[in-house]
Structure 1
């Protein structure tokens, strides 16, 4: 409440003109609501206060928890006001699936907040709409597949990277360390190899700085001050996080441009190294034909790469860090995973085909994704048109929040939604079973385009690490003391912690020849 009051102080003490404009805006919104009500019944919700909306009822550090609580009172489709901004929240598996899959077109556009507009200016994939978004998404999906996403080529890249990561873990000699940076670098190297055509050394200052800035931005973008900025963007001179996040973004775009320019200088049609090369060829064709309407231009190149770089690193690395923390927290589950890997695989390097013979391990990975719930509010959508949905009328241009937290912890779908229980994904015979309400990658038109790659990475990184290391809390810290509270951020990562990675059975990593 103190933060809201502080940031709204310029409104309270502002000029007469600013006050008049605010009153006119409120009148407009009220009249807009009146017009909407003539079209049909609007979703219910808590009564908003003038200017503040429902902000005083929402924990801005963890808004998804407040929205999940509201859904129990107002139902699976309800209205909430973040300040003056009206949003419709979709809660529970059945409702979210129906909206994103059965009404994919109506709910398929992205809500571009002021912050994401500052970031991408309508370019790239994550925070774009219209023809440019469609073309960039099609290009990214087809090119990533060409370079092995979900296929043997990617598997080979990941297996190679697991050896580098294991070597770093081994160098700590069983002493406590923070897994964040090495895991981030390893996962980022997979998308880097596909995008740029080569991996980076973990000691490369250009590479590590880019990864660290991208991860810092993802953390900062979920902060309360930047949520307030999205509601009142003219406050940006007062918000330190906004200045830092834009500075980080500009530095990363500059580095991406430098890497792309280097690739341009050595571009060879007979030797296409990665996604950037493919884009550069299309950009060259557009320039030669003087196509002024093309979507293949520098800004789309830089923002598409930045989107893939950030999204391709954060979500997978965060999930993997949760998995290692959970293994240290629940040693009996770690025992079962390692027993299964030892029995089925032995000491040879794991491959993707092993997944079908490791049902318990696969269940642990899926349960980690479910419980970690790293994108609890997804990325907000916006309605493309007026929608009649579940007996309610939702006006065109309304921001929509698919509350993935309410799907992954839906009490009607999961036997013990708030506990770590791999049995959610096992039948009575111990065989792996799919669950319809497992939706960590979202669904519909905006489903994560790198889902197949992320699934490969999670399996191969997790199993290779568990095959070689025993993960334990630091000396003097019990399993019970390991904190599973998520840190504040756009995605939910573990709070800062250290683990010990103890080499098992005398195994040591050989990067050149295997384990």
Structure 2
């Protein structure tokens, strides 16, 4: 006799015994029992048909929080995959979260199942930043319209084209001026690099750059960077899981304060542009948005997405994303050159041989395979968005044999892609040869997706790639980066500081002017 038949007979025997005493209470009891049996039966059937991902057993209320190292949750997630596989679930408090690990799994979800995994999970911490407006933290038609508009206008204003190249080359001269002020002495590169990179996106968004001495500009950049750092703190993880704790959390108050101040400053800049707006002469993204907003209002278009909330939040998204990610990656690159001077030697030898003393341009990239490989390896090793931003399933989906319910939080673990041992020869080492063939020529790698992939890939990827190449190559052409006296290369820590992005640990570098040949080399 099969186990299922035996269980069914036992259940029926219980029902029959109850039916022998047909009182009102018994009849109600029988009906309740039948309902329970039905739910158990259907649940059992559903469980067989809908196999959920495995995972560690959660505790009541806390879920698996005690299992995680919230100072570096991505490391714990990567480690858990060794036990539970490339698709597994954890409970962050009472909320189920599915973790996707490794290049093939992440690509399958974000690219091949883009519709099912394409929405953003907007938790309390992100909601206070954007309230579901703008580009990064919105969904549905609002997100589609804002992303489409942003991409179109970023291209119009030179993203990835000659116009952006000229802006970047101009900004490089200002950044060199900041470095030169230290006359080869040790300094923290954070602010000067962030201001330089921020000026590129500012010139595209607002139509002009800012002086590094402008306190309103520098404070706006510093506040945005602080929010990125604080946004990934343990207290903000706790807030996302238990939002009722918000009033007691200092970091939440910091984020709100910074958001209010940056919003006021941004509105001041936008109002100034509004006063001098000329539909025949668009200066940047803000002008384009304001003109579109005016046209929709004149035509009486209802339910337009071109309103002040989307403008403010789109500008904030572009400003933060265009500053923090590129600036952070560039600072990782300079630190890695100081840590690995033999690699810096090879980069500078190639630059001197191919370019000499003239200003590097984007076209030089294909003639500098080793330098290009070092930049790519910096992006891979820096791993600045290890968790990615969380996604959410748009419908019930069966993925690689596992059932994932609609509305489930999904984390595509980007660190597991950039350090996938099946894709990279030395995943935990800084090894530029990952991007070189046996002849020393640059090769692309499919598992290189630092900007994520699919519908939610970074809108400014082409601009960031251009910035990284021009800034890095120009700075390495001009300076030798070393550790301060008394600090060895081994003292430079590669673990980083965790926020919403992974920043280099606090450090100082010496930028020493190099003597290079001023003759142009074709």
Write the mapping of 1:136-147 to structure 2, written as runs, cut at 5 A: 136-147=146-157
d(CA) in 2 for partners of 1:33, 1:107: 26
Counterpart contact for 2:201–2:322, Cα < 8 Å: yes
Match of 2:122 in 1: 112
CA shift digits 1:142-189 (9 cap, x unpaired) = 000000101100011111111110111011100000000000000000
**Residue 221 of structure 2 is aligned to residue 211 of structure 1:** yes
**Residue 464 of structure 2 is aligned to residue 454 of structure 1:** yes
Match of 1:490 in 2: 500
Match of 1:418 in 2: 428
Shift of the alpha carbon at 1:135? 0.2
Write the mapping of 1:116-155 to structure 2, written as runs, cut at 5 A: 116-155=126-165
CA shift digits 1:227-257 (9 cap, x unpaired) = 0000111111110000011110111111111
> Cα 1:33–1:382, aligned 2, differ >3 Å: closer, same or farther?
farther
d(CA) in 1 for partners of 2:69, 2:44: 29
**Residue 209 of structure 2 is aligned to residue 202 of structure 1:** no
Shift of the alpha carbon at 1:418? 0.2
Write the mapping of 1:253-268 to structure 2, written as runs, cut at 5 A: 253-268=263-278
Counterpart contact for 1:382–1:400, Cα < 8 Å: yes
CA shift digits 1:92-123 (9 cap, x unpaired) = 00000011000000000000001111111110
d(CA) in 2 for partners of 1:122, 1:340: 47
Gaps of 5+ in 1: 1-29, 509-515
Say which SS state the counterpart of residue 374 (structure 1) adopts.
coil
- The structure having more radius of gyration, on CA atoms, is 2
From 389, 396, 406, the equivalent of 2:406 is 396
Write the mapping of 1:48-447 to structure 2, written as runs, cut at 5 A: 48-447=58-457
d(CA) in 1 for partners of 2:310, 2:510: 42
Match of 1:21 in 2: none
Shift of the alpha carbon at 1:475? 0.8
d(CA) in 2 for partners of 1:314, 1:95: 27
> Cα 1:34–1:227, aligned 2, differ >3 Å: closer, same or farther?
farther
Counterpart contact for 1:97–1:443, Cα < 8 Å: yes
RMSD: 1.6
Shift of the alpha carbon at 1:507? 8.9
Write the mapping of 1:30-49 to structure 2, written as runs, cut at 5 A: 37=47, 39-49=49-59
Shift of the alpha carbon at 1:85? 1.0
CA shift digits 1:319-363 (9 cap, x unpaired) = 000000000000000000000000000000000000000000000
CA shift digits 1:11-59 (9 cap, x unpaired) = xxxxxxxxxxxxxxxxxxx999989636510000000011110000101
Shift of the alpha carbon at 1:290? 3.0
Say which SS state the counterpart of residue 99 (structure 2) adopts.
strand
d(CA) in 1 for partners of 2:91, 2:45: 18
**Residue 504 of structure 2 is aligned to residue 504 of structure 1:** no
> Cα 1:231–1:320, aligned 2, differ >3 Å: closer, same or farther?
same
> Cα 1:235–1:466, aligned 2, differ >3 Å: closer, same or farther?
same
Say which SS state the counterpart of residue 285 (structure 1) adopts.
helix
> Cα 1:281–1:476, aligned 2, differ >3 Å: closer, same or farther?
same
d(CA) in 2 for partners of 1:499, 1:201: 23
Gaps of 5+ in 2: 1-38
d(CA) in 1 for partners of 2:517, 2:58: 60
Shift of the alpha carbon at 1:485? 1.8
Match of 1:15 in 2: none
Say which SS state the counterpart of residue 105 (structure 1) adopts.
helix
How many aligned residue pairs are there? 479
Counterpart contact for 1:36–1:42, Cα < 8 Å: no
Say which SS state the counterpart of residue 106 (structure 1) adopts.
helix
Shift of the alpha carbon at 1:488? 2.1
Match of 2:22 in 1: none
Counterpart contact for 1:279–1:301, Cα < 8 Å: yes
Shift of the alpha carbon at 1:288? 1.9
> Cα 1:36–1:131, aligned 2, differ >3 Å: closer, same or farther?
farther
Shift of the alpha carbon at 1:292? 3.1
d(CA) in 2 for partners of 1:61, 1:446: 25
Counterpart contact for 2:437–2:443, Cα < 8 Å: yes
**What TM-score do the two structures reach when normalised by structure 2?**
0.90
